[in-house]
């Protein structure tokens, strides 16, 4: 190494080049400290804490304990929170519609299936992949599948010699290897159908569908409306083959391989499984399929029982309504006899009106004396049921109040329209929410309304008939979007088991919890989640933090509630109250309220104030 020495006395001295002795290289102190720190941390991570060394000795236990303590405090605050105040102060954005998150994904059917026995050994990703073809790839080297012939595009089992053959030779060899007997049936694809729905409709084993999906390539099981699928069903009522027509007179055929417990995929000419075109005339409609006939009998029997129960219930309700009406009239007669002068301040107030030409609901309501807040409240209650911009001349409405004056409340509203029919809402005195008759169904168990605390702000409400302004078609919104800052704690509203905790393409970080009584809750667009699949969670437990992941237009929590596989409005669905007896009393109380309000709603004399 050369060391250059510089001196200021350059008039008398030259620059001098000298050779410096080179010894051991000395590292800077900051490098030494870094290496030492990495070594210490590595040793700490490698120590067997909880086995040979007590877990309390871990330097990381303090961080974990602090986090647990924070979650305990959050849980206590959540359970102490008075949800009645939150429900009464619920705020739905006046701009709901412009702030809606139009990219919320629909949860795949498999993740919300009521039965869990088929998927109990599968990961959440496997369950999702089994119903979304684009996530599947042929698994080579498993179940006897070793190779894919690029010329024929047929997956060949181990025990079949794979040589270059013509398409006809390959199909003949494959048919010889897989000889299936049975009867062919056809099913026409309708709008909204998927293979999962068709298998359920025909009462076929969906586990066989999973095997087909596992060996299919992208695009193999895409369905087109009007396409006729062909099923080969044997005497045991088991599916042997499935043919799906494609473009250019081609088809994809799945042939059952019992030996390897899988399916062989053949891409071939349309109706290649038949000797001639005349044989295609022998295909029977799927309605004659034994599995469908059996399922249809059960469905018809269930529908018949349901109709009988409904008829009996309607008869009982009519009798009760008539009895209540007579009782109300008798009570009113007694009151009229005892009190010659009616106290108008304590009697119900009824507004009856209709929409005139060149008039919308707001103008008609103002003309009849309704205030802006009352008009806004009515439109809020009917959100997702009536589009007020589409009301027309002649549509009528009735609004019932529990008194006359400034400090009164709306108790019932009915709209009789050409487009939407007659829709009547009654106010439940227990939770101050409006329901249609028969919509209020209390159940047993403990279940809180909201998975968050504080002021509840809704950007986008539940709306199964939401119109997508970009796609220009109806795209349902099966949940509620709560406006939240990123990192806001999200709690379990009831005890349950986590059935999904992973990243979903549209929903971002997503958690699904299964609760007793057929309830399921869904949480999407999270920044992080603190639970794992299969974990038991308790009411009030912090399960995640809100975020803005996935297809999201802003920080929020997309929250869904499903009852027996059907999405319901989280803001209106009646949740388990903790006791069957209490639930029964709540239901009976609301039914009695409906009978009284229904009588008052059509008592025209109340409109003459």
**276: Cβ contacts below 8 Å, ≥ 6 apart:** none
For residue 421, pLDDT beyond 90:
yes
For residue 52, pLDDT beyond 70:
no
Mean pLDDT, residues 427-434 taken together: 80
Q: How far apart are CA 504 and CA 74, in angstroms?
A: 27
pLDDT at 497: 92
Beta bridge mates, 510: 502
For residue 94, pLDDT beyond 60:
no
* 113-288 and 348-440+587-607 have identical folds: yes
Q: Name which of 136-140, 261-265, 464-468 the model is least confident about.
A: 136-140
Q: How far apart are CA 531 and CA 544, in angstroms?
A: 7
CATH topology of domain 113-288: Nuclear Transport Factor 2; Chain: A, (3.10.450)
- The percentage of the chain sitting over the pLDDT mark of 70, rounded to a whole number, equals 69
Any idea where the domains of the chain sit in the sequence? 2-46, 84-107+445-576, 113-288, 299-341, 348-440+587-607
Identify the CATH class of 348-440+587-607.
Answer: alpha beta
Q: How far apart are CA 72 and CA 61, in angstroms?
A: 16
Q: Name which of 22-31, 180-189, 382-391 the model is least confident about.
A: 22-31
Q: What is the overall mean pLDDT for the chain? A: 77
pLDDT confidence bin for 145, thresholds 50/70/90 = very low
Give per-residue pLDDT as tens, 234-257.
Answer: 888 889 999 999 888 899 999 998
pLDDT at 295: 84
For residue 350, pLDDT beyond 60:
yes
Give per-residue pLDDT as tens, 277-328.
Answer: 666 667 888 888 888 888 888 888 888 888 888 888 888 888 888 888 887 7
Q: How far apart are CA 141 and CA 148, in angstroms?
A: 11
The structural architecture, per CATH, of the domain 84-107+445-576 is Distorted Sandwich (2.70)
CB atoms within 10 A of CB 32: 11
State the pairing for strand pair 434-435/349-354: unpaired
For residues 289 and 233, the answer to whether their CB atoms sit within 8 Å is: yes
Q: Name which of 108-117, 158-167, 344-353 the model is least confident about.
A: 158-167
Give per-residue pLDDT as tens, 288-299.
Answer: 888 888 888 888
pLDDT confidence bin for 130, thresholds 50/70/90 = very low
């Amino acid at each position: 190494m050369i060391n250059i020495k510089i001196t200021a006395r350059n008039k008398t001295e030259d620059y001098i080049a000298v050779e410096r002795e080179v010894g051991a290289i000395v590292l800077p102190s900051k490098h030494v400290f870094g290496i030492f720190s990495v070594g210490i941390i590595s040793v700490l991570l490698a120590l067997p804490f909880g086995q040979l060394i007590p877990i309390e000795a871990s330097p990381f236990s303090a961080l974990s304990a602090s986090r647990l303590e924070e979650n305990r405090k959050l849980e206590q605050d959540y359970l102490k929170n008075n949800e009645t105040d939150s429900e009464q102060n619920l705020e739905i954005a006046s701009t709901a519609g412009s702030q809606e998150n139009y990219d919320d994904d629909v949860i795949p059917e498999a993740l919300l299936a009521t039965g869990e026995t088929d998927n109990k050994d599968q990961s959440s990703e496997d369950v999702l992949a089994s119903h979304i073809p684009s996530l599947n790839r042929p698994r080579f080297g498993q179940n006897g599948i070793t190779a894919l012939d690029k010329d024929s595009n047929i997956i060949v089992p181990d025990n079949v010699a794979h040589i270059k053959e013509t398409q006809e030779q390959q199909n003949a060899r494959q048919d010889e290897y897989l000889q299936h007997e049975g009867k062919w049936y056809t099913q026409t694809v309708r709008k909204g159908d998927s293979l999962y729905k068709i298998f359920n409709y025909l009462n076929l084993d969906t586990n066989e569908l999973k095997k087909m999906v596992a060996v299919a390539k992208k695009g193999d099981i895409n369905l087109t409306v009007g396409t006729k699928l062909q099923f080969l069903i044997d005497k045991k009522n088991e599916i042997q083959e499935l043919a799906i027509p494609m473009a250019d007179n081609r088809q994809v055929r799945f042939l059952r391989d019992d030996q390897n417990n899988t399916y062989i995929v053949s891409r071939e000419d349309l109706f290649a499984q038949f000797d001639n075109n005349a044989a295609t005339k022998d295909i029977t409609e799927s309605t004659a399929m034994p599995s469908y006939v059996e399922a249809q009998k059960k469905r018809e029997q269930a529908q018949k029982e349901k109709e009988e129960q409904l008829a009996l219930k309607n008869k009982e309700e009519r009798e009760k309504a008539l009895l209540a009406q007579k009782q109300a009239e008798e009570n009113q007669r007694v009151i009229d006899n005892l009190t010659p002068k009616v106290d108008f301040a304590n009697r119900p107030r009824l507004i009856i009106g209709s929409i005139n030409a060149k008039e919308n609901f707001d103008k008609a309501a103002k003309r009849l004396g309704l205030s802006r807040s009352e008009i806004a409240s009515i439109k809020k209650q009917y959100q997702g049921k009536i589009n007020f911009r589409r009301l027309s001349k002649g549509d009528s409405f009735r609004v019932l109040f529990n008194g006359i004056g400034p400090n009164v409340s709306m108790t019932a509203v009915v709209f009789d329209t050409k487009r939407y029919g007659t829709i009547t809402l009654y106010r439940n005195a227990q939770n101050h929410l409006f329901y249609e008759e028969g919509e209020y169904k209390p159940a047993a168990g403990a279940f809180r309304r909201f998975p968050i605390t504080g002021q509840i702000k809704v950007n986008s409400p539940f709306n199964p008939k939401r119109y997508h302004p970009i796609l220009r078609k109806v795209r349902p919104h099966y949940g509620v979007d709560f406006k939240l800052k990123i990192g806001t704690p999200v709690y379990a509203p009831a005890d349950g088991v986590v059935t999904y905790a992973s990243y979903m393409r549209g929903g971002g970080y997503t958690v699904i919890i299964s609760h007793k009584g057929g309830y399921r809750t869904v949480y999407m667009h999270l920044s992080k989640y603190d639970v794992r699949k299969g974990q038991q969670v308790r009411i009030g437990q912090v399960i995640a933090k809100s975020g803005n992941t996935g297809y999201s237009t802003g920080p929020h929590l997309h929250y869904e509630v499903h009852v027996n596989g059907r999405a319901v409005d989280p803001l209106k669905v009646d949740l388990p109250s903790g006791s069957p007896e209490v639930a029964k009393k709540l239901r009976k109380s609301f039914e009695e309220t409906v009978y009284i309000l229904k009588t008052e709603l059509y008592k025209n004399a109340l409109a003459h104030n």
